[in-house]
Amino acid sequence: LVKLSIFCWFFPRELYEYESKPEVPVQISQLAAENVRLASEVLKAHSQAEKTLQAEKELLTKQFNEKIKTLVSSLPSFLLICSKSILEKDQRSSLEQAEKINSTGWRILAIFSLRSNNNGHPVAPSRRTISNMSTYTYNTQTDFSEIEDVHKLRSEIDK
């Protein structure tokens, strides 16, 4: 009606001619019936789309909840596996550290045992032998000519 009244305000003569035709009321009723039919189809399609959307939403929610339940049920076993691996790593590292300490302890113990032999000295004392000093006198010779030259030079410097 609003469109028709605007149309009438702009074009009053055309409206009068349009209303005076006998087939106009029949066309209006046909168009109104078609409009009602199309509107009902649109509403049906819209409600069907909403139902489909709601069904998909419920399906996705159900799948999501099932996945959450499976993850929650598998969480304790996953935590157990993780804690087990962490404990194994800790045990390995403590064993390695204990082996290092043990090996250094054995080394220290060996050093102390060597020191405790021979009155705390790690090296055995040398044996005393009788030395023959005569070999040194035979093998060493002093060049007295050089000593005489040095004495001469000193005496010259002193003069």
pLDDT in tens, 25-44: 677 788 888 888 999 999 99
How far, in Å, CA of 51 to CA of 136, rounded?
A: 121
Comparison of pLDDT for 25 and 16, the residue scoring more: 25
Q: Output the pLDDT for position 1.
A: 46
104-116: pLDDT as tens digits: 777 777 766 666 6
**Residue type, position 67, single letter:** K
Query: In the predicted model, what is the mean pLDDT of the chain?
Result: 75
How far, in Å, CA of 121 to CA of 116, rounded?
A: 7
CB within 8 Å of 4: residues ≥ 6 apart: 15
pLDDT of 16 strictly over 80: no
How far, in Å, CA of 122 to CA of 113, rounded?
A: 9
